[in-house]
Structure 1
Amino acid sequence: MQDSGDSGSPWKAAADRQTEREAKRIAVLRTAARAFNEMGYHNTSLDDIARRLNVTKPTIYYYVRNKEEILFECVRIGLEMLDEASNDVAGHDGSAYGELIAVMRKYAEIVTMDFGMCVIRVGEEPLTEESRRTLRSLKRSIDRKFRRLIERGIAEGCIAPCDPKIAAFTVAGALSWIARWYRPNGGLSPHDIAAQSIDLLMNGLGKTPGQNQNIRGGP
């Protein structure tokens, strides 16, 4: 008897159908994220998303229940990408400093992508409180990983003594803001933007180390 997954069968195997459906669902979400980023969540309708995909509105409902679910999934995917950035580079460098640089680079690049950009430009505010709680737990995970890397760096002596909480907020906040002003057709690539931003965050604007000593007390 011929297996239903063989190429000679007129029917696709269940796994193949599921893979195809998931690919189409991601296409719906990615198109929606791009629309939200460009037009705003409240100004984007399911009709707008359907037109961009060149499908009917009922087709959208085959993959998602409503617009709120679309936003939740877009932000969730973006946050999971950011959360996994540290996992992808863990152990790739012998020092916390090198690992922190690698995480920052991936973070900066992710926020120039459709889902990562949606996390910053739209976020979870339009969602229900329950959905916001779920997404905020992911944000806390990202923050904890930044803090642990900074704490490790301080302990290793490769990062200057500082408040890890403030440092993590500053780094993540600065890198996240890239999503607000980045334009795909701009003069700099995501790689270039990441490199310059990280250099400024790690080395500062002062020409020499002594120029940064009076920040707390002013002139």
Structure 2
Amino acid sequence: MTTVSLSPWKTREERERDREVKREAVLRAAARAFNEQGFHRTSLDEVAERLNVSKPTIYYYVKNKDEILFECVRIGLERLDAASRATHAGGGTGLDRLIALWTEYARIVTEDFGRCLILVGEDPLPAETRRELRALKGKIDHRFRGVVEDGIADGSIRPCDPKLVAFAGAGALSWIARWYDPKGPLDVDAVARQIIDVLVRGIASPRKDEGGTRPATRRRGRGG
């Protein structure tokens, strides 16, 4: 027989779950404000106003603005970390996994916390907390390089410098966070596909011996 509680008060688990939901709402509202107007120009009064609560209510969930930024960047990094771990351990060629990882990267950096990671980052924070976040960044970068190295080993990626390829991909895809408009004609996956295609194939037309034609280069004489 199931016992139904008649208490009007929430259980400890329900209170903790409710607090986490509200804390994430505080972080998300702050992340959006930071993304729109910058970290230093955003006050906790504005964050509270966005949530229709008082400023003291904000302090129930976070200590200060630095903690908010730390958590926003950490969440963005942890999502990238999870994606890189899952992709690194996944099946397919190195190139297949790199494309999957880059696609997920583009999705994450167009979300609230991912955009905060790119647009604001950890630079405004104290040195100790910057080091903690940068250590996580380093782990993610090494996984990106590892996928490239796997592709070189299995022949799906031509011999290259894995570090440069990882940096080039992250750099190109990070810029999506700065200009992407979800109300535009392309969704983030379509944007990611085109950018990744350029990264994978380059922009030059294939040479004749590769089954295509390449625009002829006009040879100039001395007269111009």
TM-score normalised to the size of structure 1? 0.90
- 2:217 is aligned to none
1:111-141 superposed Cα distances (whole Å, 9 cap, x missing partner): 0000000011000110000010000011101
- 2:93 is aligned to 95
- 1:69 is aligned to 67
* 1:132 counterpart = 2:130: yes
Q: Following TM superposition, by how much is the alpha carbon of 1:94 offset from its aligned partner in structure 2, in angstroms? A: 2.3
Amino acid at match of 1:185: K
- 2:44 is aligned to 46
Aligned pair partner of 2:147 in 119, 126, 149: 149
Contact 2:35 2:116 in 1 (8 A): yes
**What are structure 2's unaligned runs of at least 5 residues?**
209-213, 215-224
- 2:218 is aligned to none
Higher mean C-alpha deviation, range 200-209 or range 30-39: 200-209
- What does 1:1-219 correspond to in 2, within 5 Å? 6-208=4-206
Cα pair distance change 1:209/1:63, threshold 3 Å: farther
1:97-121 superposed Cα distances (whole Å, 9 cap, x missing partner): 1111111100011000000000110
Higher mean C-alpha deviation, range 202-211 or range 113-122: 202-211
Q: Following TM superposition, by how much is the alpha carbon of 1:90 offset from its aligned partner in structure 2, in angstroms? A: 4.5
Q: Following TM superposition, by how much is the alpha carbon of 1:7 offset from its aligned partner in structure 2, in angstroms? A: 4.9
Cα pair distance change 1:44/1:209, threshold 3 Å: farther
Q: Taking every aligned residue pair, what percent have the same amino acid on both sides?
A: 58
Larger Rg: 2
**What are structure 1's unaligned runs of at least 5 residues?**
212-219
> How far apart, CA to CA, are the structure 1 residues paired with 2:185 and 2:132?
37
> How far apart, CA to CA, are the structure 2 residues paired with 1:40 and 1:187?
27
3-state SS, counterpart of residue 175 of structure 2 = helix
TM-score normalised to the size of structure 2? 0.88
> How far apart, CA to CA, are the structure 1 residues paired with 2:167 and 2:73?
19
Higher mean C-alpha deviation, range 8-17 or range 122-131: 8-17
